[in-house]
A = this chain, B = another copy of it.
């Protein structure tokens, strides 16, 4: 096990890499704690939840809504949860987002820790303190930024993770490489997915590198006034098409990264669109898909990152160097439209 600590504005987060869910009792007492997980995780790892009071949610983004929050709050009240109660979210990003949100608002805030069970959650979703729920078609429209007390990494939980979920998580790993880490961009070009799935040490190094990369970006800009926005690379368009086309988050971000790379070529003289496209493809992610460009533009303009008619788009100057550029709708639309018809790449 490797322990790291990173101090954010009002909370120090402890990271336990290469640890085990069986160690959770050393971090929080069972009689003071509720685990929140989903029915998929619970069914696959039921044995590991014995001795813990566990709230089991229905699985899936469609349950990341206020009704689920209401149900958890009622269950906590009925069980007598008080201000000293600790919540632990064991699951993917949906579970950690909901758990973090409930912990933020229950009795004006109780402690929370996360045990991410997907690559996506391990390198991205459970890190940085953003939590929230969806409202209608708008993702994370309601939520907060509040850091957990700890993140516990148990790679054995990945054994049950379907391949498409590995791929999903690598979209964010590629994103991190694109915006901040040219060396990792090279490392990803060198290896392939199956190497990380087979070699636990290689995986552990990659997970740590990504978890700490994201944590440090967030640490320097916790409330998203500047550099944290880089983490939205691929997400502006990604979020706009994710819910409408039943794409996975990773697939949506992959398509968004291709569009962002094309915008970078247009407005930042970015020369490596092909390397970005190749890397995305190498890890099993889509690079082009037909979508309704007009509708995507409309949703993008309602996104919470929008400030009036300018969209702060994350572009690349080169692999490993992201930059936030204010673009007008008029600058974005032609390229989104072109790439929404796969034959036009």
Name A's B-contacting residues (CB within 8 A): 9-10, 66, 70, 73-74, 77, 80, 82-84, 104-109, 130, 132, 135-136, 138, 140-145, 223, 302, 304-308
Closest to A10 in B: B9
* Cα(A282)–Cα(B132), bound, Å: 48
In the complex, the answer to whether B77 meets A145 with C-beta atoms within 8 Å is no
Are B305 and A140 closer than 8 Å at their CB atoms? no
Q: Please report the C-alpha to C-alpha distance between residue A109 and residue B130 in the assembled complex, in whole angstroms.
A: 11
18 A-B interface contacts by CB (under 8 A): A9-B10, A73-B135, A73-B141, A74-B136, A77-B135, A77-B136, A77-B302, A80-B302, A82-B304, A82-B308, A83-B306, A105-B144, A106-B142, A107-B141, A108-B132, A108-B140, A109-B223, A144-B144
Report the separation of the CA atoms of residues A104 and B108 in the bound assembly, to the nearest whole angstrom.
11
Question: Residues of B contacting A9 with CB < 8 Å?
Answer: 10
**What are the residues of chain B within 8 A of A140 when measuring CB–CB?**
108
Give A145 to B146 CA distance when docked, in angstroms. 12
Closest Cβ neighbor of A76 among chain B residues: B141
Whether A135 touches B82, Cβ cut-off 8 Å, given contacts A66-B66, A130-B108, A142-B105, is no
Question: With A and B bound together, what is the CA distance between A80 and B104 in angstroms?
Answer: 26
